Chains A and B, each alone.
Chain A
C-alpha cells in the first residue's frame, strides 16, 4: 500500500529565516506530487505541481520554491520567510493516470512565521 510522510508537523520560524518542508511517498513510483497551502479557515490553494524528477510547475508567484530531487521526494523551500507564509501546508500525491486519480494527502505542516 502507498503511504505519504510529511514533516515536520509543526514549525515556528522568524521572519527572514529559511524554510524546508519535506514530503516522501512510499509504495508507488512516478507519482504526481503537489504542495497545497491552506490559510486559516479557508480552502486549499495549489502552490506547486510535479509530474517527475526536476519537473516542477509553479501555480502562484511567491517567495516559495519546490524541488523534486528524487522520484518520491518533494521539498518546499524558502530563502526568506514572510509573515504571509504562515499557514497549513499539505503535500499530496496521485497516480500519473490523469484525472481519475484522487489526491492522497499527508498530515500537513502547520507553519507559523513570527
Chain B
C-alpha cells in the first residue's frame, strides 16, 4: 500500500528566511506524481507544486521548490524568502494508484512564519 510520511508536525521560520519541509513516500507504481498542498487557516486546500517521478529536474514555482530524491523516496519542499502568508499547514501527497487521480496524503506539517 502507498504511504506518505511527514515527520515534522510543526515548524517555524523567521520571515525572509528559508525553510525545508520533509516528506517520504512509498509506492510500487512505476510512474507517479507527487504534490505539495497548502492549507491556510481558511482551510482552503491550495496546490503548491507537483513533480512527475520520471522527470529528474526538480520542480520550481517561484519561491517554492522541491528536492526530489527518487531512490530515497524523498520529496522535500523548500520555501525561500518566507512570507507571513506562507503560514499554513502543508501536506505532501502521492498518487494512490495509476490513472485514477486518487491521492494519499501525509499527516501534514504546520508551518509558522514569524515576523
Contacts and interface: CB of A to CB of B under 8 A. Distances in A.
Interface of A: 32, 34, 36, 41-46, 49, 51, 59, 88, 90, 92, 94-96, 98-105, 107-108, 110
A49 to B, nearest CB: 6
**Chain B interface residue bracket vs A:** 20 to 34
B99 A99 contact: yes
Contact of A88 (B33, B43, B91, B101): B43
A95 B105 CA distance: 19
Task: Specify the main secondary structure of chain B where it touches its partner.
Answer: loop
A3 to B, nearest CB: 13
Q: Looking at A44, A104, A107, which has the most chain B CB atoms within 10 Å of its CB?
A: A44
Contact of B95 (A34, A43, A99): A99
B32 A102 contact: no
B69 interface: no
A43 B32 contact: no
A54 to B, nearest CB: 17
B98 A98 contact: yes
B44 A105 contact: yes
Give the 5 A-B residue pairs with the shortest CB-CB distance, closest first: A105-B45, A98-B99, A94-B101, A44-B105, A43-B107
Contacts of A103: 35, 45, 47, 101, 103
